[in-house]
Chain A
Amino acid sequence: MDRPLLYSGVSVALAAGTFLLLNSLPGCKPNTTKSAVTGDAASKVYVKPGTHDEFYNFVSGGFSGQLAVYGLPSGRLFREVPVFSVDPESGYGYSEETKGMLTTSYGFIPWDDSHHPELSQTNGVPDGKWCFINGNNTPRIALVDLGTFRTKSIIEIPNSAGNHSSPFTTGNSEYVVAGTRFSVPMGDDASRDVPIKSYKENFKGNVSFIHPDPGTGKMSIAFQIATPGVNFDLSHAGKGPSEGWFFFSCYNTEQAYSLMEVNASQRDKDFIMAVNWKLAEQLAKEGKGKRVPGRHYSNWWNEETHSTESTVYEDVLQLDPKDHPGLLYFMPCPKSPHGCDVDPTGKYIVGSGKLAALIPVFSFEKIQKAIAANEVEGDFAGIPVLKYESVLHGEVKKPGLGPLHTEFDANGNAYTSFFVSSEIVKWNVEKLEVVDRVPTYYSIGHLCVPGGDSKQPWGKYVIAYNKITKDRYLPTGPELTQSAQLYSIEGDKMELLLDFPTTGEPHYAQAIPAELVKPREVKFYKIEENHHPFVAKGEKETKVERRGKEVHVWMTTIRSHFAPDNIEGVKLGDEVYFHVTNLEQDWDVPHGFAIKGAANAELLIMPGETQTLKWIPTRVGVWPMYCTDFCSALHQEMQGYVRVSPASSNVPLEAYTVSVDAEM
């Protein structure tokens, strides 16, 4: 035998042996996540069948454009509320009535990227009435009514690009805000058609204050404040002593426009922008602003006509801080701040520089003193920059890597997420001392404590919303589920209780005691309050009518039949509008409506509601229609036919239902 061959044989055997040995030895690999759960975590998240969760958790869908609703502590998914993206299963964005909700000055936009749910507040505490959420791509803010869990209102934000620092609320939801992630040139066509290299000269930002009508939920833009061209990232309203102020984190004070990951990361400090919104409100009321071009839509869902009402505005009221000293101040904040969070007392503002290795905490009292004493280090594009040391409460030293967001409990603690070091760090706001840390799996983005950005956090849990799941769940090909992780914060140490998968990509989330939401639930729409122009309030009101090439069908559903269920006289080239009224007056009895070849979607019609599906038949023949929601023991009998004849035919238009008696 040749020696080299022998050697190599031995070395292969050795290598294989070593490999096997290493794999079988305990403790040779780093500790993994499998050891992370201790004690009786299961009993803490177990919600017995038939009982309810303690909290609602409203979680953004990210690239899904929707809002997901979970229960805590179980992590069970209840609903995905269609907000910015079309939803063929319910017909949202497809029915004639809902198309308007997604209409903007750019036309019909059937999708968006939803980032930050924010519950409406009364006296600085979430009240369970509404949930706002921002559309990041085509700048919009939506208001979801928590009585119906439906999108009630969507407003487009003009003069904006990338609506990220939104839709955070003032203490009584007088306003929710929007800020430009991208600064862009604004004004008329000539002012907007400029070289990208002219960023410093031509690109501007702004922050908008949107007023939701407390009664109707209709939204309108109260005023915009023009700002220098930077990127606004996140924001939060002041509360308590800082009530009347709003704080926005901003990055790219380098004013870069290319290779941002390098070019926008050069300065040691970017800014947190402090806005005196009470002053802005007063200036707006005094007519100090000027109306600037800014075409935008405000869409509102009318629950009596079951239809969208859109208002189109051509301009917007804008305030220029150069004309109004005291409106805006910049505070230096280390390295591209992301999260901008105000503690429950309203005394401290936490900036999270995502490239920083410390967390700066600003003092509102010191900010006021610095303003009064004019302790400025200069200005940025005309806006005063306060001295960092003058406004700083202190820094949390070496908390972790890549701080992103901070939420609070009611005991003076803050919980900050760290993307890079993949952990939640608990620290004391007053003392600026780290008191605990737990790993997250993996790479946490946002986090949420019930009521954790309000005056009165309910505490109990912190939920991590992670960007990466890798090996945490059964694999599903290249695209894996996104996830949330629930930790108990009741003890001194944070304790991992549960992983649960989430829809889309979860960004921010909010949680609120279920008892604040449950009493608001609408069980069905009252048929007598239905003022849809094509409602049929009973089978006697059903009919068909030809209006030129349009055929309108007044149709009803009740367990378990359509009226009419036979329609003849439709011709090729016609557009058929099925106006379907669900006559049921009981909870949990929706009916579906589907017709073969529908190029748009089906309808899911709630009890007492009317929705319209437009259908353009493409072939001669008899077309089936049926109910898609298993409504009763006779659901499978809930069907009908539409006869479509050639364009030249003389078949009269008629609709009927035939009873057994008539046929016998």
Chain B
Amino acid sequence: MRPISRVMIALAAAALFALLYLPIWRIDLAAPQYPEGLYMQIWADHFSGDTEKINGLNHYIGMAHIKDEMFAEFDVLPKIIVVLAVLGLVAAAWGRRILLVGGLVALSAFGAWALWRMWDWGYKYGHELDPRAAIKVEGMAYQPPLIGHKQLLNFDAWSTPDIGGWILFGVMALLAGVYYLEVRDLRKKLKAKHVNPIVP
């Protein structure tokens, strides 16, 4: 691999460590009574923000109490991030393209898995309602949007990547760039090898 590719991979891997210490996703809520808004952040291993206030409101409609224990992935997420980051550092040190491909695949798989887990959690959180809830709206579920905006009763909800999420996207873009460079190099090399036999 080109030296610049290795530096970029090392950078991407180092950036992954930041995910351990930064919020990855955030959900913002706004309603007429909450002009200042409510928010919740999802980190690698915990929730933060106005979860207590959100819990206080959501108990009317029977939604579960948000607490770290309800998202089992918090136990494994930090470990996966560390493994991916170490993999990246090894790839940078060793310089083999195959590791780059492996890393990119692993990272994409991780991203897809994380989004799926979040969607699944959101689905359960929004659908599995306490039958004793004080307010029941026929046919209404309260699944937060995975990304983007959704109206949930009197609340507008927005779900967007937080700084950690953007870093993750950045890492993926960086690796995709490296992948593009390296594939181009590889093609050139292969072309050079086969040049003689083709030309008569």
Residues of B within 8 A of A661 (CB): 132
Which one of B40-48, B52-60, B100-108 contacts A? B52-60
Tally the A-B contacts, defined by beta carbons under 8 Å. Answer: 17
Q: Of the candidates B56, B60, B134, B135, which one forms a contact with A558 in the assembled complex, judged by CB atoms under 8 Å apart? A: B56
Residues of A within 8 A of B52 (CB): 585
Decide if B132 touches A633 in the complex (CB within 8 Å). no
A583's closest neighbor in chain B, by CB? B56
Decide if A634 touches B53 in the complex (CB within 8 Å). no
Q: Of the candidates A584, A585, A586, A634, which one forms a contact with B134 in the assembled complex, judged by CB atoms under 8 Å apart? A: A634
Q: How far is the CB of A283 from chain B (nearest CB, A)?
A: 53
Q: How far is the CB of B168 from chain A (nearest CB, A)?
A: 32
Q: Does A559 contact B (CB under 8 A)?
A: yes
Residues of B within 8 A of A559 (CB): 56
A584's closest neighbor in chain B, by CB? B56
> Which A76-121 residues have C-beta < 8 A from chain B?
none
Q: Mark A580-596, 1 if CB is under 8 A from B, else 0.
A: 00001110000000000
Residues of A within 8 A of B134 (CB): 633-634, 637
Q: Does A474 contact B (CB under 8 A)?
A: no
Residues of A within 8 A of B56 (CB): 558-559, 584, 586
Decide if B60 touches A586 in the complex (CB within 8 Å). no
> Which B121-150 residues have C-beta < 8 A from chain A?
132, 134-135
Q: Mark A625-660, 1 if CB is under 8 A from B, else 0.
A: 000000011100100000000000000000000011
Q: How far is the CB of A40 from chain B (nearest CB, A)?
A: 30
> Which A352-369 residues have C-beta < 8 A from chain B?
none
- Residue total for A at the interface (Cβ-Cβ under 8 A): 12
Decide if B53 touches A586 in the complex (CB within 8 Å). yes
The CA-CA distance from A637 to B134 in the complex, in Å, is 10
A contact patch SS: loop
Which residue, B56, B60, B132, B135, has most C-beta atoms of chain A within 10 A? B56
The CA-CA distance from A265 to B95 in the complex, in Å, is 103
Decide if B132 touches A660 in the complex (CB within 8 Å). yes
Q: How far is the CB of A359 from chain B (nearest CB, A)?
A: 49
Decide if A634 touches B60 in the complex (CB within 8 Å). yes
Residues of A within 8 A of B135 (CB): 633
The CA-CA distance from A586 to B56 in the complex, in Å, is 10
Residues of A within 8 A of B53 (CB): 585-586
> Which B49-95 residues have C-beta < 8 A from chain A?
52-53, 56, 60
Q: How far is the CB of A469 from chain B (nearest CB, A)?
A: 36
The CA-CA distance from A637 to B53 in the complex, in Å, is 20
Residues of B within 8 A of A637 (CB): 134
Q: Mark A56-89, 1 if CB is under 8 A from B, else 0.
A: 0000000000000000000000000000000000
A523's closest neighbor in chain B, by CB? B36
The CA-CA distance from A652 to B103 in the complex, in Å, is 69
Residues of B within 8 A of A585 (CB): 52-53
Residues of B within 8 A of A584 (CB): 56
B131's closest neighbor in chain A, by CB? A660
Q: Mark A531-567, 1 if CB is under 8 A from B, else 0.
A: 0000000000000000000000000001100000000
The CA-CA distance from A334 to B60 in the complex, in Å, is 70
Residues of B within 8 A of A660 (CB): 132
Which residue, A586, A632, A661, has most C-beta atoms of chain B within 10 A? A586
Q: How far is the CB of B121 from chain A (nearest CB, A)?
A: 24
> Which A497-556 residues have C-beta < 8 A from chain B?
none
Binding site for B on A (CB under 8 A): 558-559, 584-586, 632-634, 637, 659-661
List 14 additional contacts besides A558-B56, A586-B53, A634-B60; criterion CB under 8 Å: A559-B56, A584-B56, A585-B52, A585-B53, A586-B56, A632-B60, A633-B60, A633-B134, A633-B135, A634-B134, A637-B134, A659-B132, A660-B132, A661-B132
Q: List 10 A-B contacts (CB under 8 A).
A: A585-B53, A586-B53, A586-B56, A632-B60, A633-B60, A633-B134, A634-B60, A634-B134, A637-B134, A660-B132
User: A-B pairs with the 3 shortest C-beta distances?
Assistant: A586-B53, A660-B132, A634-B134
